Amino acid sequence: MFKLEPRQDASLWTSLRSILIALAITAVVSVLVMVVMSDKPAEAIWQLLSFPWQGRRMEVQFGLVAQQTAYLAIIAIGLSVGFKANVWNIGAEGQFAIGSVGAYLGYLILGSPEGAWALPLILLAGVIGGCLWALIPAALRVTSNTNELLTSLMLVYVASHLLTYLCIGPWKGDPKAGQAETFPMPESIRPETLINGTEFHTGLIILFVAFIVLAAILLFTLLGFRLRVAQHTPRAERFAGFSPDNTVWLSFLISGATAGLAGAVYLTAETGKLIQAENYLENFGFAAIVIAFLGRLHPIGILLAAFLISYVNVGASYVQASLGVDDSVADLIEVTALFAFLSTAMLDQYRVRWHTGSAKTSQAMS
Amino acid sequence: MTDATQQPLIETRAICKSFGKVKANQDIDFRVLPSQIHALLGENGAGKSTLMKIIGGLQQPDNGKILWKGKPVSITSPKVARAMGIGMVHQHFALFEGLSVAENIAFSIDGAVQGKVLNKRILEIADRFGLEVEPQRPVFELSAGERQRIEILRALLLNPELLILDEPTSVLTPQEADQLFVTVRKLASEGHGIVFISHKLKEVKALCDAATILRGGAVVGTCDPETTSAESIAELMLGSRDIVAVRKEREVGTARLSINNLNLQSDDQTLRINALELFGGEVFGVAGVAGNGQELLFAALSGETRSKQPHSIIIDGMPVGNLGPNQRREHQAMFIPEERLGHAAVPHMDLTDNALLTNLSNPAATRYGVVSKKFLLEETNQIIDRFDVRHGGINRAAKNLSGGNLQKFVVGREMNKSPAILIVNQPTWGVDALSAVKIREALMALAANGSAILVISQDLDELLEISDRLAVLHHGDLGHARPVHEWTVEALGLAMTGSSTTEHVA
């Protein structure tokens, strides 16, 4: 019979070890999945691992990975703020959409400018949009104690319908386009591509810088400290002079801002125009929830998790193209990783013991 | 009754148990005879709880034997322990507030007996041992003493032959404690063996007929507490150390804290204080049974619960009634809550981070919002040195410290800031005797330097030892404050149970 015993010696090493165990479990299950899904599993696995060096240009593949990593990481670190403090914003997808809408609105308010000077203001408008959208569940939670899980999630659907409405209604662009969309922004104000033919653009740099700034704030400042206090102990939080209500406001504000920024960068860099929701949103806001937990709500972990998942995603598309293995394999690997990481997290704090009837013959498993 | 030839009810031989490098129990020999009230004494961390958890089946020994009525047994789970006839009454009650007494009891015996039959049995046993209960009353209405009776009742319903009482009097009024002693004696006279864990030597001397003393995980002696002096028992417990805190005469200065017409209401408590002044150089004691408004009084003073009127609380001339904890800390008022884990300290954070918890308004702790690790390290090391906090490394989480050491850390954290006003709730609750003495001495030394100190405590001996003035909190009303020498323990006990108004005491 299994038994859990609290560890007296929990340390960085025990954490690291449980992460390694989780990676090993993920690897084994991924191999099994490949064996089932592919005729040539060995080759498929090899290509999944080494795809950037398989095609013609390595930087193109890494560009795709970096692009996904940036969006996932910035949204996930924003969400981790709230998750740490027991504030559950799962509506980043909606805040992302309204971030894009806010950015486009900013562009319109500025009078559809053509100069690159407008980009920072447009991004700022996106941040504000994401924040305002996130403040709705925050206000409901603080004033009427509604469950922010439900309200933030429901607002995702409101946001995506709003996006679609704007595309078919007030901001309708070219009527001959195959989808509902707005008129595009001029190339001159969009983030520049850094390496020709790749997805590396200045927008990604903005996202990574924002990530680093927020990570530093969380690791080294009072704000980060405050959130760690709020995580498990509301009484200690109040004793330290922090108001729990303000923690709710702050968490939503930060996660709304990061999702809004991601939405604004996405609009300006990737599409240049708003498109009806189902063709525009790529689920970054939901995927980021998984990334936040895979990264154990720690900035470095989040960055690594975002990179790994993006790598697998892009790799799976490559394998689909080259060997015809369905790219849903990426989803399976991601889900496996999530299960493995969540289930091994308790190994940090507990050890598993195997009892065989008598008390003396217990043996440590890990 | 306790002759040596008798077969012991339970006997442990050379029990060993280690946690990592810490040896919690080392070669422990411990025996309890039928009809014996056996005291288990020792500082916190001496190994009492570990030994009792082993006997109760909650933990397995690394080595050694347990004999039950002379036969070797292995107690693999609490269920096995209960089936053998070992009952345990824990220090912290595990009761469902919303359920009735009978329902709570039904839960704990897995519903073996229910409904009218259960009510009847409860009343039978209650009657037999003088435990007054009303089976249908909901638990949230009950006092600590009544709740404890439920815990004892549910242990007794299983007909235990050995009953373990873990610090049973820590939350009781003197009257309630006396009542408990009657019950315990009755149990012993019917052949039950009793293990009585306590810090209070007076009780042990009055009640127990054998004692085993632990220190550092090993047995350092056994004695008959009735005939052995309290001093020599204390010496066994603590080693040859001085446990008498020296009372110094203190000069009383000017008013540093005043409370005027403070009326507050929380979910389950009310607080009404018309007027109270605290002077520099004095220790002011607030006595009272748990649940009479202590939490709210502490929260009102710390700023965790704010009043609308700024002038309801005045610190050194500054109205602070409507201000939060950090703004009050800026006026050199510091606070030490009762609950160490989760209130005074964050269990999962290490000691340096916990040092920051009440230093947020300290300009040295942060610069432009960035936390100064260097300052925190210095501060933490100072606290650890000054208060002899034993820890396994300052990067270990607070929850890994023993209760006494964490309390020393929490007290030291506030003391190190040389507060002008210090509010303490239960300064030595669940703390070993030596740490308790250190903490009390530090409190008195602080008062001697001109600070005003308010101590909320349920330990009367403690309050009588360190306070200059004392008042009783009952149902949210703070009674008249009187110099300590005008009070007697009996008068306090009566005031605490509301059996007499303060006028009668005068």
Q: What is the pLDDT of residues A353-362, one digit of tens each?
A: 776 644 443 3
pLDDT exceeds 90 at position B485: no
| Tens of pLDDT, residues B72-128 | 999 998 888 988 999 888 877 778 877 888 888 887 776 666 678 888 888 888 888
Which residues in chain B are classed under CATH 3.40.50.300? 10-238, 255-505
**Per-residue b or e along B239-258, where b marks 16 or more CB atoms closer than 10 Å to that residue's CB:** eeeeeebeeeebeeeeebbb
**Per-residue b or e along B84-103, where b marks 16 or more CB atoms closer than 10 Å to that residue's CB:** bbbbbbbeeeebeeeebbbb
| Tens of pLDDT, residues B337-390 | 988 888 999 988 889 999 999 998 888 888 888 899 999 999 999 999 988 888
Report the alpha-carbon angle A66-A68-A73, nearest 5: 90
Answer yes or no: are the C-beta atoms of B413 and B383 closer than 8 Å.
Answer: yes
- CB-closest option in A8, A228, A238 to B304: A238
Query: Which 3 state secondary structure label does DSSP give A95?
Result: helix
A contact test, residue of B339, B357, B391, B400 with most A CBs within 10 A:
B357
User: What per-residue confidence (pLDDT) applies to B241?
Assistant: 44
Which segments of chain A have a pLDDT < 70?
1, 8-11, 56, 355-366
Average pLDDT over residues B311-317: 92
pLDDT exceeds 80 at position B504: no
User: What per-residue confidence (pLDDT) applies to A226?
Assistant: 87
pLDDT band at B497 (very low <50, low <70, confident <90, very high): low
Q: CA dihedral defined by A130, A136, A141, A147, rounded to 10 degrees?
A: -80
pLDDT exceeds 60 at position B248: no
User: What per-residue confidence (pLDDT) applies to B429?
Assistant: 81
Name the average pLDDT for chain B. 84
User: What per-residue confidence (pLDDT) applies to B115?
Assistant: 74
User: What per-residue confidence (pLDDT) applies to B170?
Assistant: 66
- CB-closest option in A8, A228, A239 to B325: A239
User: To which H or E segment does residue B220 belong?
Assistant: strand B218-223
User: What per-residue confidence (pLDDT) applies to A363?
Assistant: 40
Q: Which residues contact B245 (CB under 8 A, 6 or more apart)?
A: B437, B440, B441, B444, B465, B466
- CB-closest option in B346, B349, B371 to A221: B371
* Class of the domain covering B255-505: alpha beta
* DSSP per-residue codes, B151-203: HHHHHHTT--SEEEEESTTTT--HHHHHHHHHHHHHHHHTT-EEEEE-S-HHH
| Tens of pLDDT, residues B421-444 | 999 999 988 777 778 888 998 999
CA B143, B164, B174, B429 dihedral sign is negative
* DSSP per-residue codes, B388-403: T---S-TTSBGGGS-H
Return the higher-pLDDT residue of B167 and A341.
A341
In angstroms, the CA B99 to CA B141 distance is 10
Distance from CA of A161 to the nearest CA of B (A): 40
Reported as half-sphere exposure (CB side, CA atoms, 13 A), residue A176 has a value of 0
User: What per-residue confidence (pLDDT) applies to B199?
Assistant: 67
CB of A356 within 8 Å of a chain B CB? The answer is: no
Average pLDDT over residues B26-53: 87
Average pLDDT over residues B62-80: 90
**Do B348 and A358 make contact, defined as CB atoms within 8 angstroms?**
no
Architecture of domain B10-238: 3-Layer(aba) Sandwich (3.40)
Average pLDDT over residues B283-311: 88
**Do B357 and A9 make contact, defined as CB atoms within 8 angstroms?**
no
- Which chain B residues contact residue A229 at CB under 8 A? 346, 349, 357
Say what the ipTM of the complex is. 0.75
User: What per-residue confidence (pLDDT) applies to A358?
Assistant: 45
CB of A221 within 8 Å of a chain B CB? The answer is: yes
In angstroms, the CA A64 to CA B5 distance is 84
User: What per-residue confidence (pLDDT) applies to B323?
Assistant: 92
Return the higher-pLDDT residue of A269 and B133.
A269
Phi and psi at residue B215, in whole multiples of 5°?
A: -150, 130
Average pLDDT over residues B202-229: 87
CB of A24 within 8 Å of a chain B CB? The answer is: no
In angstroms, the CA B479 to CA B204 distance is 31
B contact test, residue of A14, A239, A363 with most B CBs within 10 A:
A239
Which of A287-301, B24-38, B480-494 is least confident?
B480-494
Residue B377, both tokens = 């390290």
| Tens of pLDDT, residues B189-207 | 988 999 998 767 778 888 9
Answer yes or no: are the C-beta atoms of A153 and A78 closer than 8 Å.
Answer: no
pLDDT exceeds 50 at position B251: yes
In angstroms, the CA A30 to CA A17 distance is 20
Nearest CA to A167 out of A175, A256, A155, A119 is that of A175
Answer yes or no: are the C-beta atoms of B222 and B233 closer than 8 Å.
Answer: no
Query: Which 3 state secondary structure label does DSSP give B107?
Result: helix
In angstroms, the CA A45 to CA A315 distance is 10
pLDDT exceeds 50 at position B44: yes
B495 burial type by CB count under 10 A (0-12 exposed, 13-18 middle, 19+ buried): buried
pLDDT exceeds 60 at position B245: no
**Do B357 and A229 make contact, defined as CB atoms within 8 angstroms?**
yes
Within 10 A of A51 (CB to CB), how many other CB atoms are there? 22
